[in-house]
A and B are shown apart, each in its own frame.
Chain A
Amino acid sequence: MTFAQPTARPPRYRRTRARRIIRNTARALLPRRIGLRHRILISFGAGAMILSAILAITTYGFTRSSFVQQRTTAEINQAFANAKRVQTDLLADPADVIGSLEQFGSAQRLLYSNGVWTSNSKGFTQADIPTALKTRVVTDVKAANMIVDHGTNAALIVGIPLEQAHAFYFELESLRETQGALRSVFIALMLSGAITTAVGIGLGLLVSGRTVRPLVQAAQAASAIAEGRFDTRLETTQDRDLEMLTTAFNDMVATLQTRVERDARFTSDVSHELRSPLMTLAASAQVMHSRRDELPERSQAALDLLIGDVARFQGLVEDLLEISRFDAGAIRLINEPLALLEFVRQAIAVSSLPRTDVIFAAETDQILVQGDKRRLARVFANLIDNARIHSGGKPKIIIQFADDDPTKSRVWVIVEDDGSGLIDGEEEKIFERFSRGGTAGQRAGSEGAGLGLALAAEHIALHSGSIWAENRRDGIRGARFIVDLDVFVQNEPALGAQRNTETSS
């Protein structure tokens, strides 16, 4: 019995194989690439087409056989009657074969008598009679009939042996009318088939639209959520099947919302909690710093380390708080028109390299941009920090109109350094949070937490601008960071910085 199992297996295997073949065929016919909507559409269309085709073919078959049968029976009866008359005529006047054939009716006739074929029509000759029919009638001496192709039409040939006259009578009756009638039926069926298919496709369109609509809504909701609008929910429906999707989706969003909010709140809470001890640390360190000279040398060194890292820690907490505000969507910019050149100079003055050169292109000294000056200043401070850490301290800032914008409606502030430049693929990665760059830890070094560029990107995005990094274009090694901002008002310096006062008057 050990081989019972192996023999039991093949059918199962075959079945799965068959299923696989069907599945593969279906997949080949309806590849996944085709969307659900189209798949439904194709299914409905094809279903309607196949159904109507089957219906049409069956109907046509039945109609045809009943038509032909009716006609054949009538024709055969007529042929027998005619044969009888021909035989009577022949017996009366055996010499006038042709006369006996022509004296009545319109049918095409052929008489085989004494080895001679006589026809009353050129269109009907011995050659038109199939051998099988000829054999049956002439050799077997039996009445027979057959439908043949005669010219362009079908025709019925009836063969009747005239035993008393020792002749064989063949009659050809065209089935053109029958064929015409069948053709009409055929056309009608084709038409109704086409209509059915069209209705099927229309129905498919309707159904697919209905089916896909909740999916489209879900997709729209999902992208809204991806953009941070966590209050997005799917409308509840009465449909039991859809309700499943809607409920699951809404539950998911709610969970996600809670989690994201909790994460954001956590970061924010942690940073807030860190502020108080930092406050104490900073104040105490300053008190010690004012007595630095009274301390022994080793304590002085330790104090310097302490003060340096308190400042660094403070910066990190500020950055984390700012990031958590971004994540919570809680940032409200305090926007005002800023004279760009003056602003950049002021921002440099409070940065870690206050002597950085600014090169500005013609007319750019007249530019105003709309922005939150303290946040924008952080962006440039961060970019300068990045350049300093990366290139060892000689960045320069270039203000120019955007290269790709002849209307001068956008301005670029470029921070250019002469460091080691960017390696391929690093251009985007450096804007990620806590990224430390690929160049052997050189970029972040011991300073900064790697949040500076991420924050810069977030701030610039909030200002409806863009920021990107690339290698220098002038052939010198080094990176450049381009901040692209909209020009607010041009050539009206007087209408500057005071916009906000209007609201307070």
Chain B
Amino acid sequence: MAIRVLTVEDDERIRASVKLALEDEGWIVDEAPTGEDAIAIFQNTPADVVLIDIMLPGIDGFELCRTIRKLSDVPIVMVTARVDTHDVVAGLEAGADDYLTKPFAPKELSARIRALLRRVRPSAPGHSKLVFGNLEIIPDEGKVTLGGKDVPLTKTEFRLLCELAHDPNGVFSREVLLDKVWGHGYFGDGRLVDVHIRRLRMKVEVDPAEPTHVVTVRGLGYRLQS
């Protein structure tokens, strides 16, 4: 089935050109000039990926991000003007999975989208259910429970958790996680990992301030433990 992308961008010409480029990938592209339109379209025909420009008339990109997050676990790529402002972290906190800075090459965008749509690695035989204390992960079903209760994770959060679960007690550096989860190379932004770990902890930790599952290994990276 063809991938459906929703692009939210107020500049008509950019929207049109991005649509052309993404359609070249064989994808279906829906367009929305404002956040309000985007919500309406998304509720009508849910997309597989949403591309959001932070600078929007009406409700801004952050707000739109949060609204869509409440509706769905769909991967969200946001488009910012600058790398070194608060925008990036704020966007990730609002629920975005990855970001790009304008002007980006459409090839770069399609590569990012593909990475976000990757499926989790098929679980090894006998590992259909991974147990970390009160935290249980069933990779093949995309299901996570904490103390028996379902934990709603976004697709990216889930892939990140599965990546960590793949080698229990093994330490993953940010570079490795960036590569495995986002498909970024050496120059990927480590803040992506940090913010996602933070988001993950909010959901899978009893006390996110005192994490017992997703723990930081000082100077090395992150580890999942029971």
Contacts and interface: CB of A to CB of B under 8 A. Distances in A.
Contacts of B191: 334, 500
A496 B17 CA distance: 42
Contacts of B124: none
Given A272-B81, A350-B187, A504 B194 contact: yes
B194 A501 contact: yes
Contacts, number: 114
B170 interface: no
Contacts of B107: 286
Given A272-B81, A497-B175, A279 B104 contact: yes
Interface string B30-68: 000000000000000000000000000000000000000
A496 B219 contact: yes
Interface in B172-194: 173-175, 185-187, 189-191, 193-194
A505 B211 contact: yes
B218 A284 contact: no
B84 to A, nearest CB: 5
A293 to B, nearest CB: 14
A436 interface: no
Contact of B83 (A275, A283, A374): A374
A495 B103 contact: no
A282 B105 contact: yes
Interface in A474-501: 494-501
B13 interface: yes
Contacts of B84: 325, 331-334
A7 interface: no
B18 interface: yes
B140 interface: no
B206 interface: no
B219 to A, nearest CB: 5
**Chain A at the B interface: SS class:** helix
- A interface, size bucket: 35 or more
Contacts of A331: 84
A287 B185 CA distance: 25
Interface in B104-122: 104-107
A276 interface: yes
B17 A280 contact: yes
A290 B24 CA distance: 8
B81 A501 contact: no
A122 B142 CA distance: 138
A290 B26 CA distance: 13
B143 interface: no
Contacts of A325: 84
Contact of A283 (B106, B186, B190, B222): B106
Contact of A275 (B18, B24, B103, B194): B103
A377 interface: yes
B1 interface: no
Given A279-B11, A280-B11, A317-B103, 7 more contacts: A277-B13, A279-B17, A282-B105, A346-B187, A374-B83, A497-B173, A502-B218
30 contacts: A276-B102, A280-B11, A280-B13, A280-B14, A280-B16, A283-B17, A284-B17, A286-B21, A286-B105, A286-B106, A290-B24, A314-B103, A317-B103, A332-B84, A333-B84, A334-B84, A334-B189, A343-B186, A349-B186, A496-B219, A497-B173, A497-B190, A500-B174, A500-B190, A501-B190, A501-B194, A501-B197, A501-B216, A501-B222, A505-B216
